[in-house]
């Protein structure tokens, strides 16, 4: 929660959070049972196993920035609602309820209520144990064992805030799009979805200059990093406005294609194409390239391409294995 915390302290804190969650929920690295490690393949993507969800807590930049952003959202929603109790949907809560458990000591007990959702019984039971262990049951309105991609939450409205972090890098494999689209349908007109925006861009990278590699005996100042990149264009921009236009029931197998310029061979100059993911949790709280596993470059295998300028066409595949398909346009 402290904006001045250094990486070392954040890493230590998130390791402690993982250790406490493991001790309380029984889900962790020791004595792993098959139910802990089993993913669930949904019609709209993969719901990662309880163990994988638990391990996410250890990514200190990801965890801290989501928590800080969510705290800012809850305070903003409270300021809008003039004393009304704020109700939040948390889809994919995992076994530790990672994004809200550290927040609850900062919130008034009469001001906020949460509905926690997960598809895995073991994960939902773990979250229940974690909340109860710290005496925060009063904050919880409900625990729902359901598929957040398609469940109808109308009977439990209103919701002023909804959060889901059910994604992988470059929006592949996991159901972030489908979950987000369903949550948005159940928000109040001025409700807030977290993350606020996910942007995926196509970029050419000189992979050999992404990091500064120094000899073991280097002394003195570290030379400034000289990355070489060429942004081609945005291939996805996911926010509330876009999600309100998306109806998975009417969608085909793919979203409409998006084209970006594909430079000629000279301009590409041996750079490699990649998808870069940027996550704006809320306001100034964001995750950029290399901040966590969600924002690592996803390098693309384009294969043989023409020497002359063309277009690189992207189409986002829906269904059990969501993700981008791409090819260089003919001619």
User: Tens digits of per-residue pLDDT, 274-322?
Assistant: 999 999 999 999 999 999 999 999 999 998 788 899 999 999 999 999 9
Question: Residues 48-63: what's their mean pLDDT?
Answer: 96
pLDDT at res. 81: 85
Contacts of 116 by beta carbon, 8 Å cutoff, 6+ apart = 90, 93, 97, 124, 127, 128, 140, 142, 143, 144
Say how many Å lie between the first and final Cα of the chain, rounded: 53
Distance of alpha carbon 194 from its chain centroid, rounded? 9
Confidence check: pLDDT of 30 > 70: no
Q: Which two tokens stand for residue 121?
A: 């019984």
User: Tens digits of per-residue pLDDT, 225-271?
Assistant: 888 999 999 999 999 999 988 876 666 789 999 999 999 999 998 89
187-194 vs 159-164, strand pairing mode = parallel
- pLDDT confidence bin for 17, thresholds 50/70/90: very high
The whole-angstrom separation of Cα 140 and Cα 101 is 11
Burial class, 64, CB count within 10 angstroms (exposed 0-12 / middle 13-18 / buried 19+): buried
42-51, 88-97, 214-223, 268-277: least confidently modelled range: 214-223
Question: Residues 140-159: what's their mean pLDDT?
Answer: 95
Better-predicted residue by pLDDT, 30 or 1? 1
pLDDT at res. 28: 85
The mean predicted confidence, pLDDT, of the chain is 93
pLDDT at res. 249: 64
The whole-angstrom separation of Cα 200 and Cα 191 is 24
Confidence check: pLDDT of 32 > 80: no
pLDDT at res. 220: 82
């Amino acid at each position: 929660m402290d904006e001045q915390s250094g990486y070392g302290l954040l890493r230590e804190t998130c390791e402690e959070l993982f250790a406490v969650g493991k001790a309380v929920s029984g889900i962790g690295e020791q004595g792993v049972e098959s139910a802990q490690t089993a993913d669930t393949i949904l019609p709209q993507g993969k719901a990662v196993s309880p163990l994988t969800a638990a391990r996410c807590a250890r990514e200190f930049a990801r965890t801290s920035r989501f928590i800080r952003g969510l705290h800012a959202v809850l305070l903003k929603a409270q300021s809008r609602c003039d004393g009304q109790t704020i109700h939040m949907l948390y889809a994919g809560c995992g076994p530790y309820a990672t994004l809200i458990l550290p927040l609850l000591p900062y919130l008034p007990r009469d001001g906020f209520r949460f509905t926690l959702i997960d598809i895995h019984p073991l994960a939902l039971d773990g979250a229940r144990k974690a909340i109860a262990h710290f005496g925060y049951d009063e904050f919880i309105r409900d625990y729902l064992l359901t598929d957040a991609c398609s469940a109808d939450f109308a009977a439990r409205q209103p919701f002023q805030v909804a959060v889901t972090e059910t994604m992988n890098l470059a929006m592949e494999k996991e159901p972030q799009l489908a979950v987000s689209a369903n949550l948005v349908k159940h928000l109040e007109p001025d409700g807030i979805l977290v993350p606020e925006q996910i942007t995926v861009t196509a970029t050419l990278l000189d992979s050999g200059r992404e990091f500064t590699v120094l000899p073991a005996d280097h002394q003195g100042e570290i030379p400034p990093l000289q990355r070489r990149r060429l942004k081609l264009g945005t291939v996805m921009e996911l926010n509330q406005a876009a999600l309100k236009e998306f109806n998975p029931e009417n969608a085909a197998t793919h979203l409409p294609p998006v084209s970006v310029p594909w430079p000629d061979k000279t301009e590409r100059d041996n750079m490699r194409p990649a998808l870069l993911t940027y996550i704006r949790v809320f306001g100034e709280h964001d995750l950029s390239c290399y901040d966590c596993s969600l924002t690592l470059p996803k390098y693309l295998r384009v294969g043989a391409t023409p020497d002359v300028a063309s277009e690189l066409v992207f189409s986002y595949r829906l269904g059990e294995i969501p993700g981008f398909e791409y090819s260089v346009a003919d001619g």
